[in-house]
Structure 1
């Protein structure tokens, strides 16, 4: 209990003092996660909508595989990305290992199946509702997907926020491909792991409280924006 109280006090002190390291680490955490979520949503949302609309032979197997990929072990993803980006790997020439870009790549691989699977669930329900209407209008497949994505944008926002929630708390893959380098690749989760290993539990808790507050603030901000939209259906 004493450690938790010290953590709260330390978190308050760091925030009130506008600690430079805390701000740098927090901004880097947001940059990496938001970029990864944006890329994952750009890939995953159309993929989920396409799976809801398209009928093909191995569709059920594809959906089952997508759902299974939601449980990808982050450390395994980190290891694979590390091997691909290392000097002996096929993409080593780009020098991306131990950079924020490598961290974003790892998070995109982790988050895309999650976003796509949630998007597919939402789009499948909407497709069942709008199937007859869209077919009667003689729309193309791309028009159907765009209509579903637009009308289901709030459900898809939930998919993106789920991806953000998982990404902002990711540590395994980030640690492997980022290296937790001070002023370069250190983010809130890796900083917490570092301070815990050093026995600085109060500071680790302080960073943890900041991480939780950051996640809540982003979710609150996005939901506030979404409620300002005019939507007859919702």
Structure 2
């Protein structure tokens, strides 16, 4: 165990090309999926949190329920959409980083939307009279609420990043874990462990652990000592 750990640290310290390639792809795929999730989920969550409309309670419940989507089921759904007999086969992106980004976006968007709704709902109630006095329209209200909550929304984005970077089920289904093309840290760890290549698996695991700890530390700092979402 000690020898495996030392060799894993050496792989990281000397900047092993394979380790860096896999880690870089993981970060690119995760960053792209989180950006897409925030672009979709934050306005959606803000709208549900800010406005009263028929079915609002059902929409809130749906967002909360979708946070628990099984990754492999999402991966299967995306696979069926992108496969040769699927409706989106013309995109020709199955077993590519783009398919992995799509799967992760579907997984992370409900989380981002649900957390954004929680952040915005309180502010919408606080500013209701002010918006009414200014006769602010829906778009102006959404923009003002999102800007006011930008600190808390940074925490939401980090939570989405933490969910995406550790995902394995969906990306292995739609990405195929192809060397030098779609192999990311989580899928590589699973593969290398099954092959008995524990040094590489542990090196990637240490990097993934470091990223996860860094994200969690950033979330805690943004939440502040009270543990509440930052303003």
Relative to the length of structure 1, the TM-score reads 0.90
Root mean square deviation, CA, Å = 2.2
* Among candidates 151, 156, 160, match of residue 154 of structure 1: 151
* Residue 45 (structure 1) aligned with residue 56 (structure 2): no
Q: Distance in 2 between matches of 1:99 and 1:145?
A: 35
8 Å contact from structure 1 (residues 8, 209) kept in 2? no
* Among candidates 20, 27, 37, match of residue 23 of structure 1: 20
- Within 5 Å, give how 1:68-87 maps onto structure 2: 68-87=65-84
Gaps in structure 2 of 5+ consecutive residues: 225-229
SS of corresponding position for 1:90 = coil
Q: Distance in 1 between matches of 2:68 and 2:221?
A: 30
- Within 5 Å, give how 1:183-194 maps onto structure 2: 183-194=180-191
SS of corresponding position for 1:87 = coil
1:224 Cα offset (Å): 8.8
- Counterpart of 1:211 in structure 2 is 208
Relative to the length of structure 2, the TM-score reads 0.91
Which runs of structure 1 show a deviation greater than 3 angstroms over 4 or more consecutive aligned residues?
5-8, 215-225
Q: Which moved more, 1:160-169 or 1:121-130?
A: 121-130
- Counterpart of 1:13 in structure 2 is 10
- Within 5 Å, give how 1:120-199 maps onto structure 2: 120-199=117-196
Q: Distance in 2 between matches of 1:7 and 1:152?
A: 45
- Counterpart of 2:85 in structure 1 is 88
Q: Distance in 1 between matches of 2:150 and 2:60?
A: 21
8 Å contact from structure 1 (residues 98, 177) kept in 2? yes
Q: Which moved more, 1:54-63 or 1:186-195?
A: 54-63
Gaps in structure 1 of 5+ consecutive residues: 228-232
Q: Distance in 2 between matches of 1:215 and 1:30?
A: 12
- Counterpart of 1:61 in structure 2 is 58
1:127 Cα offset (Å): 1.1
1:133 Cα offset (Å): 1.5
SS of corresponding position for 1:189 = helix
8 Å contact from structure 2 (residues 66, 110) kept in 1? yes
Q: Distance in 2 between matches of 1:26 and 1:222?
A: 22
1:130 Cα offset (Å): 1.5
